[in-house]
Amino acid sequence: MIFNSPKQYEALGFKSLQDLERFLDREDIKQLIGKNYDLYRAVWVREFDKVVNKETRDRVKGAFNWLALISFPIWAAYRKMYMYFFVYAGIMAAITFFEEYYLYTLPAGALLPVYIILAIMSRDLYLHHLVELDKKMDMLRDFKKEEFIKHHGGVSKLYAWLALPAFIILMLVVMFAGSYAGGHGNPFERY
């Protein structure tokens, strides 16, 4: 969870639970969220109550984001959170490049805490993403908002399916670049 203080919610424009609920209950926000709207709404309301109002509610069934744990870039692409996909891919590309350049391999479990943290933070990152999209929509005329929502809203199985091969191709290109830049030649010849 990245929103762990009332000030962080205030920075997003949510000073009260009613502010958050008004935001989430807007038709354009519902369209932006699309699939699993009720789950996301319940999780965000529960977390707001927990952090800001210091109230406890029952846990929301299905709140843990397993797809983000298994593959954060695929989940980010599925939710059309392109910036997060590219930032994650860039960080992984940098790690891959330096591993090949210096012929050093991180232990398999070294990045596991990062995956767990991203899975825990995924819903908060998504709320932040929606607030940013809302700011962009505020600058558009009504007829452009519909087009904006179609492009940025809901989920995309196509982007999720394309994210995996794009990510793999990027890692292979970076792996070869790092290996050749380090003077080690074809990385597959070493194995």
Q: What is the pLDDT of residues 12-21, one digit of tens each?
A: 999 999 999 9
Q: State yes or no: pLDDT of 174 exceeds 80.
A: yes
Q: Does 125 have pLDDT greater than 80?
A: yes
pLDDT at 18: 96
**pTM for the whole thing?**
0.88
**pLDDT: which is higher, 57 or 170:** 170
pLDDT at 191 over 70: no
pLDDT of residue 158: 94
Q: Are 103 and 184 within 8 A, CB to CB?
A: yes
DSSP state of 154: S
* pLDDT for residue 163: 93
Burial state string for 22-48 with b = 16 or more CB within 10 A and e = fewer than 16: ebbeeeebbbbbeeeeebbbbbbbbbb
| Long-range pairs of 45-49 with CB within 8 A, sequence gap ≥ 24 | 45/17, 45/20, 45/21, 47/1, 47/3, 47/123, 47/124, 48/3, 48/9, 48/14, 48/17, 48/20, 49/17
pLDDT at 111: 84
The reported pLDDT for the residue numbered 1 is 56
Stretch 107-111: mean pLDDT: 82
What average pLDDT does range 24-37 have in this prediction? 95
